[in-house]
Amino acid sequence: MRLDATPLMYLNTPKEMFASVTTPLLIGSIAFWIGFSVLLCFLFNRMISRKLLQLEAVKFWHAPIILLCIIPLGIAGRGGLQTVPVNQSNVYFSDKMFANHAAVNFTWSFINALSYKAYSTDNPFIEMEIDTAKSIIEAARKPLRVSITNDSLKLFNTNRPNVILILWESLTAKVVAQLGGEQNVTPNLNSLVKEGVFFDQFYSNGDRSDKGLISILSGYPPQPNKSIIKNTNKASSLPFMTKKMSEIGYHNSYYYGGDLNFGNMNSYLRNGGINEFVSGEDFKKKDWNSKWGVHDHVLLNRFLSDINKEQKTPFFKILFTLTSHEPFEFPGTYAFGKDSEANLFRSAHHYTDEAIGKFIAEAKKQPWWDNSVIIIMADHGHPLPALNGFFHAQHKFHIPMLWLGGALACKDTIISNIGSHTDFAYSFLPLIEGDNSSFEWGNNIFIKSDAHYAHYVFNKGFGVVNQHGAVLYDYHKKSNLINNNEGLNSLVDLGKALTQVTYQDYIER
């Protein structure tokens, strides 16, 4: 790894820091620093300082010219005028991590770590003794930390199905009829529910794509005010579902219609051992919307074509849609019109629903269908369409998850155990004889238990949902926003413990 701000984390313990350095190395480093500093001072006085004394005073009218010169520097600093500014993902190009690390600019890496405060060891969510917090979490999770194999569950008719994971941008329960949402926004998804296994009490752990991706593929809880994917050193220490599937023979690929550098996605996924990528740069610009990337139907058509050519099995293919992201632009008819942001949102989801519906219909005709499972899941919920109540109430984080495909041994099945993104990898891997032991934050969503819960975070707050109700806590106010039942006080303690301990884990990575 390139040097980042990690050394700064140890400045508050200088004795221990110096104890880890040998005496010759310490003396040599100090001597080099002094010598190099003296040399720089000499060169500055000899070559620069004298020149500075010869400069004329700047005229007032020079100021606008200087400002105009700064603008190109700012553009160059962000890497250009493209939607996604330059980040560490831009130089990741190989499946060999050493080559990717060597390509990272040292100065950029260090300054970026400083700007992101990656050196900070402060935990702003401490509410109790760490041992107390850990004991609360352990008690809540103990009945849910059991692996269930496919042989006992009888969910698949094979132990090694092909797996297709479709991550649907911003798909909220509020537009899915089977979840009490609006009736006509996602008609294809509504009709497909009876053909598979539907999870009707499923939640996202965060409210952004970068947090959703980490929760799904690494089973790692997001932090309220941080995003671990943006810190490559920390993110590379996470477990990866893709790596675990590679270990048992799966070929991994990732499809995204936009810029893979968005949110440092590229570096995270390459650390995850993905073999093949298809992104927006593989498509013609005429198939893009004005901002983010390729329209979903174009991406899904390419996806289907590539699967039909697939020779490497079993495969694990991930597709991430984006048309249902602002600015909600797509070709064709806007089913709900364009007169409001909410109707643009509804229309975009109706379009993506149609594209996915056509993909499923064509997939059923292919020879690989009988040995495949297709999982449709949202990356996170969305504030739209707006409902009455608190902005971060549970309905914002409530999302659907649907499993389809010929490899399913059961259909028209609803699982109402409460779960979340962080439970996905832990629950799924044993079904295909994979190792889930490194996914320490996941619970098994298939266990029949009253102990199931979902924990989600937002900036300076958290929510927890269980079968008895939901709580919402705000760290600014240091109070509950929602808790109408005194019997849920233990749920508040669980939320505080989870937020505190998972943030501490983030700091220590």
The domain total for the chain is 2
pLDDT at 14: 59
Do 221 and 341 sit in the same domain of this protein? yes
108-126 confidence digits (pLDDT tens): 666 666 666 666 789 999 9
**Poorest-confidence range of 220-224, 258-262, 321-325, 379-383?**
258-262
Looking at 80, 115, 150, the residue that finishes a domain is 115
**Contact present, 324 and 170 (Cβ < 8 Å):** yes
Do 457 and 311 sit in the same domain of this protein? yes
| Residue 288 resides in a domain | yes
Q: What is the DSSP string of 416-450?
A: ---EEGGGHHHHHGGGGT---TT-TT---TTS--T
Looking at 57, 90, 115, the residue that finishes a domain is 115
Do 286 and 141 sit in the same domain of this protein? yes
330-346 confidence digits (pLDDT tens): 999 999 999 999 999 99
DSSP reduced 3-state for 294: strand
| Residue 184 resides in a domain | yes
Bridge partner list, 288: 294
| Residue 148 resides in a domain | yes
Do 158 and 106 sit in the same domain of this protein? no
- Average pLDDT across the chain, whole number: 89
**Contact present, 316 and 242 (Cβ < 8 Å):** yes
Do 92 and 227 sit in the same domain of this protein? no
Do 50 and 171 sit in the same domain of this protein? no
Do 45 and 82 sit in the same domain of this protein? yes
Q: Which structural domain range is residue 98 located in?
A: 6-115
Do 192 and 293 sit in the same domain of this protein? yes
Burial string for 184-197 (b: 16+ CB within 10 Å, else e) reads ebbebbbebbebbb
Do 201 and 71 sit in the same domain of this protein? no
Residue 457 per-residue DSSP state: E
| Residue 123 resides in a domain | no
Looking at 88, 115, 142, the residue that finishes a domain is 115
Do 110 and 182 sit in the same domain of this protein? no
d(CA 287, CA 279): 12
pLDDT band at 503 (very low <50, low <70, confident <90, very high): very high
**Contact present, 382 and 414 (Cβ < 8 Å):** no
| Residue 475 resides in a domain | yes
pTM: 0.83
| Residue 181 resides in a domain | yes
Say which amino acid occupies 112: N
Residue 290: pLDDT over 90: no
Q: Which residue has the tokens 């899904």?
A: 300
Alpha carbon 210 to chain centroid, angstroms:
3
| Residue 462 resides in a domain | yes
Q: Which residue has the tokens 């010219």?
A: 65
pLDDT at 315: 97
d(CA 9, CA 101): 21
Do 175 and 285 sit in the same domain of this protein? yes
CATH code for the domain of 224: 3.40.720.10
Helices 489-508, 130-141: axis angle to 10 degrees equals 110
141-181 confidence digits (pLDDT tens): 999 999 999 999 999 999 999 999 999 999 999 999 999 99
442-493 confidence digits (pLDDT tens): 999 999 999 999 999 999 899 999 999 999 999 999 999 887 676 788 999 9
| Residue 357 resides in a domain | yes
Do 95 and 203 sit in the same domain of this protein? no
